[in-house]
């Protein structure tokens, strides 16, 4: 006889919403919830398993036996099993054992809606409340303004397991990071952190991109409320938080979502659409209402319960195309005969419309590597509805250019200037992410050519060019001080390198670039608009020099940039200027404090000497492998 008491948190309206795929707060109903029924405290469980014959809650409270705690299936055809178990409280370990109607298959699964999970390799779910007394009211109240698209986005991408470790190579906890990481990000003047996936995952080498606990912060670094404390502390220091989020695929681990109730419940049943050959993982069935509700509820959960300011959606390209990473014969066209995944596109649009309508001041950011149009345009204009898109083409072309010997760069200047032809087709974020410093690609520093001085000068120039190019900015941890080696997820960054002047110089430069980007409106007010950028001259291939203007709302605050991509200083280099008066140098990547040669300009007077199509011009010194920025 079951010891489960009939009880439900679902109304008929909830069930109607769930069946239609429109219930976007399923985390309030499904999963485990500590409640009181008839004066008795215990835990209510609810799980979606429509192919199940029986569903039992098993755990440390009953010796993992499925004979006593069977849930009740709802009568309404929703496929939801539920019930209340008295006296089970926070901290209880549990799973669901599901006997399927599908040929008697038996599965043993973690709770898809668990708010806490055991530390891998253990796989049980944990009944948990994760309560936290938030103190970020000021941040949340002003977020609509501070997190807007015309505000600065200087993003520091972080892998929590390897940013910094303790002396015994143990992980820092969420609360440790709330001290060290927050102080560092604030000192470096980054506006946001982006965490690589912190949702629970079983396999460390996946870096968190193979999720099994979509609603649970990984237990590697502490409890769920500890992660809330980290987010809260970041907010109290005026730092926004972006999470990597993976709705594109999930692993086949036995305790995960795959073949959940003895059927293809969450994944698409056709392997041509339900299996990812690159990552050996399963693909969500975006055409199934309940799966869409699961994923949108998950996005809502992190924005709601964890006060997250944005989600960077991983591997969007793999969702958009039916033939992504597939050979001929391994995919089937859609009803129109082309390769677009219409169900995934519909899901993405609904996702973005839903979260933007429910949360002020958040941003959805697409990691999308193809030329799919209107990714960051509103849904009502025919777009996908993201706020920003990673500018993968810019990243690739820029790194290809910088790795070339400066002697030959004059033949490849188009690698840099081409981005201006499409820079405003989307709201682009410029990413130098973790993907660019792994798998033999080398660190950013060691992709630069030349001797030691030239490598560091090139890296300083790379970052200076990045921060003055239209768009928001993202740097993966370690890049900001010129990490020499590739990223290793099993070890701390090489913080000892900051004992050396060149590395310290890179760090000083990035700190000051973040300040420049925040303090000069011309660099962010129109960062996604063609009105915010104007070439002075992009055609001086022979000298490998680029000159351009960045503009904000106030034309008196425009800034002027000159980049020299060779190791030969360009003294008395004349550039046309649309103003008269004086120019003041406000940034120079060749400054001594950055490890440069110290070729600086100070204040310069314009002259009535027509140049580059302007009536006025000015002679500037552009340092070797350097860039300079001037204001009026």
Q: Which residues are catalytic?
A: 314, 367
Q: Are 320 and 341 in contact (CB under 8 A)?
A: yes
* Separation between Cα atoms, residue 534 and residue 551, nearest integer Å: 8
* Separation between Cα atoms, residue 78 and residue 46, nearest integer Å: 12
Smallest CA-to-CA distance from 291 within 330, 327, 339, 344 is with 344
> φ, ψ for residue 580 (rounded to 5)?
-115, 160
The 582-588 sheet, strands edge to edge:
533-540, 545-550, 559-564, 626-631, 582-588, 603-605
* Separation between Cα atoms, residue 591 and residue 516, nearest integer Å: 15
Residue 440, phi-psi category: left (phi > 0), alpha (psi -120 to 50), beta (remainder): left
Q: Are 57 and 43 in contact (CB under 8 A)?
A: no
Q: Residue 34: helix, strand or coil by DSSP?
A: strand
Angle formed at CA 527 by CA 409 and CA 566, multiple of 5 degrees? 15
Distances (CA, A) of 526 to 174, 469, 555, 583: 36, 11, 12, 22
Q: Are 625 and 401 in contact (CB under 8 A)?
A: no
Bridge partners for 576 per DSSP:
617
* Separation between Cα atoms, residue 475 and residue 235, nearest integer Å: 20
Q: What's the burial of 72, exposed, middle or buried (CB within 10 Å: 0-12/13-18/19+)? A: middle
> φ, ψ for residue 365 (rounded to 5)?
-125, 130
- CA-based R_g, the chain, Å: 27
> At 123, which helix (H) or strand (E)?
none
Task: Give CA 434 to chain center in angstroms.
Answer: 11
Q: Are 606 and 573 in contact (CB under 8 A)?
A: no
* Separation between Cα atoms, residue 217 and residue 348, nearest integer Å: 23
User: In the structure, how many helices (H) and strands (E) does the chain have?
Assistant: 12, 28
Q: Are 144 and 360 in contact (CB under 8 A)?
A: yes
Residue 109, phi-psi category: left (phi > 0), alpha (psi -120 to 50), beta (remainder): beta
Task: Compute the CA torsion angle 612, 613, 614, 618 (nearest 10 deg).
Answer: 10
């Amino acid at each position: 006889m079951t010891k489960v008491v009939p009880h439900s948190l679902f109304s008929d309206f909830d069930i109607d919403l769930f069946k239609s795929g429109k219930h976007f707060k399923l985390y309030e109903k499904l999963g485990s919830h500590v409640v009181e029924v008839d004066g008795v405290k215990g835990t209510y469980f609810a799980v979606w398993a429509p192919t199940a014959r029986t569903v039992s809650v098993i755990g440390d409270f009953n010796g993992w036996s499925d004979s006593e705690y069977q849930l009740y299936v709802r009568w309404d055809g929703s496929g939801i099993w539920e019930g209340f178990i008295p006296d089970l409280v926070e901290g209880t370990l549990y799973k669901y054992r599901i006997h399927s109607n599908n040929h008697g298959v038996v599965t043993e699964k973690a709770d898809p809606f668990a708010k806490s999970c055991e530390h891998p390799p253990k796989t049980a779910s944990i009944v948990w409340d994760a309560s936290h007394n938030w103190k970020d009211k000021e941040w949340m109240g002003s977020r609509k303004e501070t997190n807007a698209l015309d505000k600065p986005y200087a993003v520091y991408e972080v892998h929590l397991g390897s940013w910094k470790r303790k002396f015994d190579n143990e992980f820092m906890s969420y609360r440790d990071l709330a001290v060290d990481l927050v102080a560092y990000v604030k000192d470096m003047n980054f506006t946001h952190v982006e965490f690589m996936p912190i949702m629970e995952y079983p396999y460390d080498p996946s870096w968190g991109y193979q999720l099994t606990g979509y609603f649970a912060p990984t237990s590697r670094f502490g409890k769920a409320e500890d992660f809330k404390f980290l987010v809260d502390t970041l907010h109290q220091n005026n730092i926004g938080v972006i999470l990597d989020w993976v709705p594109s695929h999930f692993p086949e681990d036995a305790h995960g979502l795959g073949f959940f109730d003895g059927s293809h419940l969450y994944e698409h049943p056709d392997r041509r659409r339900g299996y990812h050959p690159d990552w050996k993982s399963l693909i969500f069935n975006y055409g199934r209402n309940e799966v869409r509700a699961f994923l949108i509820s998950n996005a809502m959960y992190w924005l709601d319960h964890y006060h997250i300011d944005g989600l960077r959606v991983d591997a969007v390209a793999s969702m958009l195309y039916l033939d992504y990473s597939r050979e001929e014969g391994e995919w089937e066209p859609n009803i129109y005969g082309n390769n677009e995944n219409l169900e995934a596109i519909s899901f993405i649009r609904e996702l973005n419309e839903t979260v933007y309508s429910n949360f002020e001041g958040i941003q959805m950011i697409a990691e999308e590597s193809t030329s799919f149009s209107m990714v960051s345009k509103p849904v009502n204009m025919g777009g996908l509805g993201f706020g920003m898109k990673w500018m993968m083409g810019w990243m690739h072309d820029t790194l290809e250019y910088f790795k070339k010997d400066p002697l030959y760069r004059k033949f490849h200047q188009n690698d840099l200037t081409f981005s201006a032809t499409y820079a405003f087709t989307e709201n682009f974020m410029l990413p130098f992410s973790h993907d660019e410093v792994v798998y033999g690609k080398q660190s950013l520093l060691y992709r630069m050519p030349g001797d030691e001085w030239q490598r560091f000068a090139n890296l300083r120039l790379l970052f200076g060019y990045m921060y003055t190019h239209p768009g928001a900015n993202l740097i993966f941890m370690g890049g900001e001080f010129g990490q020499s080696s590739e990223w290793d997820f099993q070890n701390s960054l090489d913080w000892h390198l900051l004992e050396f002047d060149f590395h310290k110089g890179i760090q000083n430069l990035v700190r000051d670039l973040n300040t420049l980007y925040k303090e000069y409106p011309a660099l962010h007010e129109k960062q996604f608009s063609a009105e915010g950028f104007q070439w002075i001259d992009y055609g001086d291939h022979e000298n490998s020099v680029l000159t351009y203007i960045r503009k904000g709302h106030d034309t008196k605050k425009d800034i002027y940039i000159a980049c020299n991509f060779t190791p030969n200083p360009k003294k008395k280099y004349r550039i046309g200027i649309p103003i008269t008066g004086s120019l003041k140098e406000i940034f120079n990547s060749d400054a001594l404090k950055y490890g440069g040669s110290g070729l600086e300009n100070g204040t310069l007077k314009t002259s009535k000497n027509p140049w580059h199509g302007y009536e006025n011009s000015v002679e500037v010194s552009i340092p070797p492998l350097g860039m300079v920025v001037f204001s009026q």
